[in-house]
Amino acid sequence: MSSNIGPEANAAYQKYLDAESLEEQIRCLEEFISLVPKHKATEKIVALNKSKLAKLKRQLEIKKKKSPTKVVSPFSIKKEGIQIILISDYYTPGVGKTSLLNFLTKAAKDKIGSFNALPEIGIYNYEKIRFQIVDMPSLMKGASKGVANGKEIISQIRACDLICLCIDLTRNIDEQIDLLFTELNNADVKLNEPPPPIEIEKTGSNNIQLFYLTTESKENMELSDKIKEIIRANGIQNCIVKLYGRITIDQILDKLNHSVVYKKAIIIGTKGDLPHTEEKFELLEKKYSYNFRLVATSVHKSIFPDNFGELVLQLLNKIRIYTMNSGIVAERPLIMNEEAMVKDVALKIHRTFVELFDFATVIRESARQKRKKVGLDYELEDKDKIEIHTI
């Protein structure tokens, strides 16, 4: 190992080499990476060892899945509608997540003010759309490594649709945000980040081929050798790499790490009725509005956005589509991704609607021609009404 990294890092690396169990190897390698000075000369060392770390974690997950004893976790919650998880750091008194859950869903009145070791669940209805809101136990320092059921909590967070970071406006906001960001990032949960503009397709031969497919991506050409070395360190010897934009070394590592998930998140400021919280919320906005939607709340004064459901749909890039049968419009809409087409709706109802498709009637109130006869490839918009006709 290079002498540029310092004696402490070298000692930690030796511990990693001497470690016998996967768990110990992971712990030692994490310690080593944290001790390496971060600068240009060590960038490659850090990247390669992050690759090793990701590979060890994958091996550990496979080992756990093969374990014959499998118990269903109380933190594993079946999704019902759009799932929103309220999360905060651990502190006494609490941040007010349970009060917020009860305010929105009337589901946790007897739990307010007490420490809840297990999730509390309620249903928030907005314009006939069901949002499942989960008040998760708070995250403690070290949650990403398993402290206080942290791994189980974060496992469910990884599967949800939207994360609400609940921040107590009466306390130090940076300490709360830093803990949540750190634990989620350590668990490979990326907040409000787009996936890296890169595709990696394994092949049977021809080594590693790089294709720079946009003007922006060509700015990465100086990283070509590093990219190839990192990919090889992940056990891939033959592949086609397509780059569509500027990327960093960390983004390449994220792409190779199959445990990385990209999640939408908002920040909710709680206890907004108490003194000096207005200034704290302004500080939150100043620091984090560049990448997060912020919501100021006070359960005590019933301050909460009336259009919260609309906000969630916009953040998740979802639209509402109302199906019709013989001209009768369904009460509850289907929730679809933006740019969904008639074919997507037909498949969501049942695949036979695609196999036997003849045409569809779409009613769009905002259009000049309100009623249209369309095919499977017609792109839909929010609040369209659709009736599918089969042969």
From residue 148, how far is each of 118, 121, 141, 154 by CA, in Å? 11, 20, 9, 11
* Residue-level pLDDT at 71: 64
Tell whether domain 3-65 is in CATH 3.30.750.
Answer: no
Domain with CATH 1.20.58 in the chain: 3-65
* Residue-level pLDDT at 3: 52
Buried b (16+ CB within 10 A) or exposed e, 312-338: bbebbebbbbbbbeeeeeeeebbbbee
Bridge partners of residue 139, in order along the sequence: 89
* Residue-level pLDDT at 117: 84
Q: How far apart are CA 234 and CA 56, in angstroms?
A: 10
* Residue-level pLDDT at 57: 86
For CA atoms 233, 236, 238, 243, the dihedral sign is: negative
Under-70 pLDDT residues of the chain: 1-4, 67-72
β-pairing, 334-337 vs 318-325, is antiparallel
Q: How far apart are CA 246 and CA 68, in angstroms?
A: 44
From residue 19, how far is each of 13, 34, 145, 233 by CA, in Å? 10, 17, 18, 20
Domain with CATH 3.10.20.30 in the chain: 318-390
Domain with CATH 3.40.50.300 in the chain: 82-191+261-314
Tell whether domain 318-390 is in CATH 3.40.1180.10.
Answer: no
* Residue-level pLDDT at 67: 62
| Polymer length of the chain | 391
Bridge partners of residue 360, in order along the sequence: 374, 388
* Residue-level pLDDT at 4: 66
What are the tens digits of pLDDT across the range 226-277?
A: 999 999 988 899 999 999 999 999 999 999 998 999 999 999 999 999 999 9
Q: Which of 45, 84, 104 is nearest to 249 (CA)?
A: 45
Global model pTM greater than 0.75: yes
Tell whether domain 82-191+261-314 is in CATH 1.10.10.10.
Answer: no
* Residue-level pLDDT at 75: 82
* Residue-level pLDDT at 2: 54
